[in-house]
Amino acid sequence: MDDLGRASLTLQSHWGALRSDLESASRLLSGMFDEASLADFGEFWQLSEREFLNVARERYGSVHSKDMKALVECYEAALAAVNKHWHQILSSENRVEGLIKQAYAVTDEFYDEITKSVSSPSLSWALRAIR
């Protein structure tokens, strides 16, 4: 069980680091536009830089050239956070699942059955804290 506890703490630290980095990126927006948030962009990690800028124009109206650079910095910082942390989160999730199966001696099939109503990890979870 010690391994499971450590793995769970590691998983939580990865989620915390992702949220922290996304909050930092989001603060770049709030400095430009009142009440702006990275959460305004939905699944930003699936947007190209051009699409991200278009969403900003749609949501916030006219974007001054000086703000354009900061928007690009926000986009790049947010994507860097995803690229840095997401694979660590998925790897840690898999590790925790494996340790739970081992600790409670359950088969993959049984584990899948009891967890089928539980949603898979999603990057959008980290955006819930940003507002």
Contact (CB, 8 A) for 18 and 86: yes
The confidence score (pLDDT) of residue 64 equals: 85
pLDDT tens by residue, 71-128: 999 999 999 999 999 999 999 999 999 999 999 999 999 999 999 999 889 998 888 8
Per-residue pLDDT at 66 exceeds 90: no
Number of domains in the chain: 1
Per-residue pLDDT at 1 exceeds 80: no
The confidence score (pLDDT) of residue 131 equals: 65
The confidence score (pLDDT) of residue 71 equals: 94
pLDDT tens by residue, 6-62: 999 999 999 999 999 999 999 998 888 888 899 999 999 999 999 999 999 999 988
User: How would DSSP label each residue in 13-58?
Assistant: HHHHHHHHHHHHHHHHHHTTSTT--GGGGSSGGGS-HHHHHHHHHH
> What is the Cα–Cα distance from 42 to 127, expressed in whole angstroms?
8
Domain assignment of residue 114, given as a range: 2-127
Helices H, strands E: what count in the chain? 5, 0
